Each structure stands twice: as C-alpha cells, then as structure tokens.
Amino acid sequence: MPAARCLRHALLATLVVATVGVCPAAGQGRVPSEAGTPTDQRPKALEGVGYAQRLGEQVPADLSFVDETGRPVRMGDYFGKRPVVLVLAYYECPMLCTQVLSGMTAGLKGLQFDAGNQFDVVVVSIDPGEGPGLAAQKKASYLAHYDREQTAGAWHFLTGRKAEIDRLASAVGFSYTYDEKTDQYAHAAGLSILTPEGKVARYLFGIDFAPRDLRLGIVEATDRKIATPIDSVLLYCYHYDPAAGKYGLMAMKLVRTAGALFVLAMVVGFVVLRRRERRGLYGGGAPVGVPPGASHKA
C-alpha cells in the first residue's frame, strides 16, 4: 500500500538521522566497525563518545585559550553580556565538524537576531595540535557564510592546551576520543547554549539546527529577557526535550488552550444572547420574534 510504503520510508529516514546524531562519528565514514563486532554494539573507536547534558553547570571562567589572532584569552572574557553559542570541534575534521559548523551558521543566519547584539559564538578546537592559523581560516570561512556586517567581533575560534580543552569538555559533558589509526577524533555532533553568566542552558544535537530552536534556546538562556510576545507564545507551545536536544510542540497544551478558548467563546456568546433578549423585553423595543409595530396581544 502507498501509505505503508511512505511510513516505512519515513521510519528509515528517521533512523538514519538518529544514527548520525547519536553516534555522529559514524557519519564521518572513517571509523569502521571491527570484524566480528555485533551490529547492536558500538565500535571500540566510539566507546566513551557522547554528549551528557549538564544543564546548569558553570563553565569555568579561568580556562585559558588562544584566539584566531594569537591573543591569549579566557572563557570568562565572553561571559557577562550575552548568551554564548558554544561548539567543540576541530578545524581539520574531514566531515562532521564542518557539517555541525555549517548547520549552526545556516541556522543563525535564519534569525533576526545578530551576533554581537543578542548572542556570541565561541568555537573551541579539541585538537591541541591546531593553532591560530587554522582558527583564522575557519573564522573567515564561516563569517563569509554568515554574511552580516559588523559581526566579526562576536565570532571567536579558539585553540588551546589539552588540559584546558578537557576541563571545558567535562564541564559541558562533551566526551571524545582520539583514534591513532585514522589520526582523527571521534566525537558527538551538537552544540550548547550558555547563559550570559556562562552556565549551560540548552543543548541542540545533530548537524542541522532549526532557527526556531536556536532562537528559543537563546531567549531562554537570557531568562526570556529578550523575548518578544511571539517568543512567549512559542515558548508556551513548545517545550525543550533534553533527550532529543530539540524543542517539541506541546500538543496537550495546545489542546487544552483550544478547549479553554472554546469554552470562553461559548460563555461570551451566551452572555451576549441573554443581553440581547433582555434589551428586547425590557428596553422598550419589540420582544424577540415580534415584528416592529405589531402587537403582542391576542
């Protein structure tokens, strides 16, 4: 049946996307399963790889890195003003990191918010062997993709020592491993949104980040201080699903709201009809149902 075939295709597509998001290193195509490994088990290269949600965790402000210009910086330099969209990646990643950064940039480009006004972007390399030169190249590439004037100061591409990288990764729950055979890092796909104070507010997983999810995450990270009336409605209708790392539609809330509005409309309608009837009986006009000028007496 056509409907059954469509359902099977939809389930298959969902499974593929879930595989890339939950075990994103498999999406790089460079971490083969070992011979004899059951298909329901992770390859050894992916053991210890994941993204544990540590909502409310404070990112250490004293973490030291180097920015794309070679200037020493601290994570705390990016706290205190705006929410921070934080990505852990590495600049020579052959596939997955590029997809994450491209998906994030495309999603941010779809917002009316501007980097530097409502949020900042901080990308930190997990490879201690990378330096400012690579970071500068990556920044230039994604700034060109973002294509908004006067926003370069809000995009920060950092490199640093392994000890500092590991402290940051631990704070946000980002687990990764290095595979010597392929000279690559196995890691999860996603990003985190920090409050202006540097606390983890939200996670978004995968390689495709909807502008709606990014906007709601940024709004919630500010405790809704920059929310518009439309944002308030959306935050009521959508809730954050930690397991999926996305905002899902609150169907039950919508049903309850629609039911309440229906009851309210019924009550208002009843009151209006009663008032019209009373005006017809006691307001000097003809009673309801009696034409003007006609007598209601037998």
The 3-class secondary structure across 158-210, one letter per residue, is EECCHHHHHHHHHHHCEECEEECCCCEEECCCEEEEECCCCEEEEEEECCCCC
Q: Using CA atoms, how far apart are residues 137 and 127, in angstroms rounded to an integer?
A: 16
pTM, rounded to two decimals: 0.65
Place of tokens 């009809």: 273
Amino acid identity for residue 290 in this structure: V
Q: pLDDT: is 228 or 188 the higher one?
A: 188
Instruction: Express each pLDDT in 7-43 by its tens digit.
Output: 344 443 333 334 434 444 333 434 444 444 455 555 5
- Identify which of 218, 223, 244, 243 has the alpha carbon closest to the alpha carbon of residue 112: 218
Contacts of 80 (CB under 8 A, 6+ apart): 196, 197
Question: What digits encode the pLDDT tens for the residues 124-181?
Answer: 999 999 999 999 999 999 999 999 999 999 999 999 999 999 999 999 999 998 888 8
8 Å CB contact between 86 and 122: yes
pLDDT in tens, 216-247: 899 988 885 544 544 444 444 545 555 555 55
**Domains recognised in the chain with CATH numbers:** 46-209 (3.40.30.10)
Dihedral-angle region of residue 296 (phi above 0 means left; psi in -120 to 50 means alpha; beta otherwise): alpha
Residue 23 has a CB neighbour count (10 Å cut-off) of 18
Q: What's the pLDDT at 227?
A: 40
